Amino acid sequence: MATRSTIMDTNSFRAEHAAGLDADTRSLTEKRSKVLGDSYRLFYRKPVHLVRGEGQYLWDANGDKYLDVYNNVASIGHCHPAVIDAVTRQMKMLNTHTRYLHENILDYSEALLATAPAEINKAMYMCTGSEANDLAIRVARSFSGGTGIIVTKEAYHGTSDLTSGASPALGSGQPLAATTRLVSPPDDYRVDAPDLGAWFAAEIQRQIDDMAAHGIKFAGFLADSIFSSDGVLPNPRGFLKQAVDVVHRNGGIFIADEVQPGFARTGDSFWGFGRHDVVPDIITTGKPMGNGIPVSGLLARSEVLTTFSDEIPYFNTFGGNPVAMAAAQAVLNVIQEEKLQEHSRVVGAQLLAELRQLMDKHECIGDVRGAGLFIGFELVKDRESKTPDKTLALDLIEQLREHRVLTSVAGPYGNVLKLRPPLAFQVADIDWLVGALDKSLTALGH
C-alpha cells in the first residue's frame, strides 16, 4: 500500500469518520464519493460546508462564522470588491486568448516585472502553479542542457507529470522522476549546524555530485523560499544565498516557486526570495495572483528564457486572458494601494509574538517561527528531544475547527500547523486565533 501523501492525507476526511456526521454533511460526502474521482480529499474528520466568504472570514451552511488562517488562494481576502468589479467589467467586454493584441496582459506584465529584480525582464502566463513550474522545468532543461532537478524532501511543486515527479510530498504512490534528487530541508530548529547556509549549500552540492556519478547533467534547483511543505522554514534570513551560488557554479538555474511566499506574504519583501538577497533565474507563481481567479505566471531572465523560446512556440489557451489579467491587476493594485506588504510585516510580527507567549503555558509547543503572515507552529512530545507530535497536531486542528478557526498541518512529520491567513487578517483577529489555540491545547490536556 502506498504511503499516505503528507500534503493530501495528513488532515483529511476518511470513510471511517462518516458515522459521526450530521445527516446533511453525510449526504454531501456520499454524493461527492459517488460522482467525483477517488483521488480527491476533504479537510477534517468532520468536513466543513462553506457557502460564503468575506475578507478573512468564511461562513458555513448553518450560518456559523469562521476565521480563515490557511487560505492564500484568496490572498487579499475572500470576495474582494476590487477583484469582483475588475472581473465583471472585463467579462462584459471581452475574454479571449493571447494570440490577439490586448492591453491588459501588457499593462500587468509591466507592473508585475517592476516588483522583481531588474534582471528579471520577461513574463509568460498560465492558469495554475503546476503549469508554471512545469514550464520552468522545461526552460531549465533547455538552458542547461541537463535534466536533473533538485528539490527538498517534502517539497510540493504541482500535479503535472513533470512537477509531480519533483513533488515528494505527494507520497510514494507518486514516483519521483529518475532525474530528481532530494535534499534535506534547511530546518533551523532541527539541524545542528553552525552555519545553516553552508550546510544547505553542501547538501545541494552532494546531490549535484550524485547526479554526475549517475550520468545525469544538473539542470536546476526548484524551491519555495519559505519551504512551507517542509514545515515553514524562514530563518535565518539570507541562508539561501550560498545554495544559489552553488547552483550557478554548477551550471544550473534557480527556480523560485513563489506560489506560497510571494505577493507580500512574508512582509519583509514582495517576493519570498527577497529575504535571502538572491536573484532567481526564474520566478513562478499562481494562487495569490488572481485572488481565486485561475491565473499563474513565469517571470525570467531573458537570457535564460531565450534558449527555450527560440526553439519552441508556447501557447496556453486560458493563460493571460483579459479577465484573468484584470483580476491579477486588481490584486496587485490592492497590495500596493493598501500597503499589504507592510501590513503583513507588522501584523505578522505581533501575531508571532503572541503565539510565542503560548510557549510559556504549553510545553508541547516546540517552536514558533515565521515571516509576515506565514507562521509555522510546531508541536512536540517534549522540547528536549524535539520528538514530533503528529497525533496532537491533528487533534488540535480538529479542536480549532470547533472554535471556528480553519488551518492545516505541514512538514515531514505532520506536526506543524501552517498559519497562513488571507492578508486581510487584522490585529483584532489575533485574540480569536491565539485564544482558540490556548483553549484547544488545554482541552487536549496540554
| Rounded CA Rg of the chain | 21
Q: What is the mean pLDDT of residues 395-399?
A: 96
Quote the CA–CA distance of 192 and 196 in Å, as a whole number: 8
| 62 shares its domain with 147 | no
Nearest to 300 by CA among 133, 137, 119: 119
Q: Cα-flanking dihedrals φ and ψ of residue 19, to 5°? A: -60, -25
* pLDDT of 2 over the 60 cut: no
What is the tally of structural domains in the chain? 2
SS3 431: helix
| 319 shares its domain with 395 | no
| 295 shares its domain with 334 | yes
| 328 shares its domain with 401 | no
The answer to the question of residue 106 being in a domain is yes
Grid cell for residue 147 = 535534466
Query: Which has the minimum average pLDDT: 45-49, 94-98, 163-167, 420-424?
Result: 45-49
| Domain end call among 271, 306, 338 | 338
* pLDDT of 31 over the 90 cut: no
H/E stretch holding 298: strand 296-300
What's the pLDDT at 1? 40
Residues in the chain: 446
The answer to the question of residue 162 being in a domain is yes
What's the pLDDT at 8? 67
What's the pLDDT at 7? 65
| 345 shares its domain with 421 | yes
Q: What is the mean pLDDT of residues 138-158?
A: 97
| 110 shares its domain with 253 | yes
The answer to the question of residue 425 being in a domain is yes
Percent over 90 (pLDDT), the chain: 87
| 280 shares its domain with 321 | yes
The answer to the question of residue 29 being in a domain is no
| 229 shares its domain with 376 | no
Contact 298, 163 (CB under 8 A): no
What domain range includes position 368? 48-78+340-444
Q: What is the mean pLDDT of residues 409-422?
A: 97
| Domain end call among 338, 362, 386 | 338
The answer to the question of residue 16 being in a domain is no
| 315 shares its domain with 346 | no
The answer to the question of residue 281 being in a domain is yes
Peptide bond preceding 47: is omega within 30 degrees of 0, i.e. cis?
A: no
Q: What is the mean pLDDT of residues 280-288?
A: 97
Query: Which has the minimum average pLDDT: 12-26, 32-46, 127-141, 197-211?
Result: 12-26
Nearest to 399 by CA among 78, 6, 11: 11
What's the pLDDT at 4? 66
Nearest to 263 by CA among 255, 271, 252, 251: 271
CATH number, residue 280: 3.40.640.10
The answer to the question of residue 363 being in a domain is yes
Q: What is the mean pLDDT of residues 328-345?
A: 98
| 160 shares its domain with 263 | yes
Look at the alpha carbons of 210, 212, 214, 216 in this order and tell me if their dihedral is positive or negative.
positive
Q: What does the longest C-alpha to C-alpha distance in the chain come to?
A: 62
| 290 shares its domain with 301 | yes
* pLDDT of 326 over the 90 cut: yes
Mean pLDDT computed over every residue of the chain? 95
Q: What is the pTM of this model?
A: 0.95
Contacts of 124 (CB under 8 A, 6+ apart): 135, 297, 298, 300, 305, 314, 319, 320
The answer to the question of residue 422 being in a domain is yes
Query: Which has the minimum average pLDDT: 26-30, 373-377, 398-402?
Result: 26-30
Residue-wise DSSP of 316-383: -SSTT-HHHHHHHHHHHHHHHHTTHHHHHHHHHHHHHHHHHHGGGT-TTEEEEEESSS-EEEEEBS-T
Contacts of 446 (CB under 8 A, 6+ apart): 362, 363, 364, 392
| 191 shares its domain with 253 | yes
pLDDT in tens, 47-92: 889 999 999 999 999 999 999 999 999 999 999 999 999 999 999 9
Grade residue 42 by pLDDT with cuts at 50, 70 and 90: confident
pLDDT in tens, 180-218: 999 999 999 999 999 999 999 999 999 999 999 999 999
Look at the alpha carbons of 436, 439, 444, 445 in this order and tell me if their dihedral is positive or negative.
positive
| Domain end call among 288, 316, 338 | 338
CATH number, residue 420: 3.90.1150.10
Q: What is the mean pLDDT of residues 271-277?
A: 97
What's the pLDDT at 35? 85
Residue 127, Ramachandran bin (φ over 0: left; ψ between -120 and 50: alpha; else beta): alpha
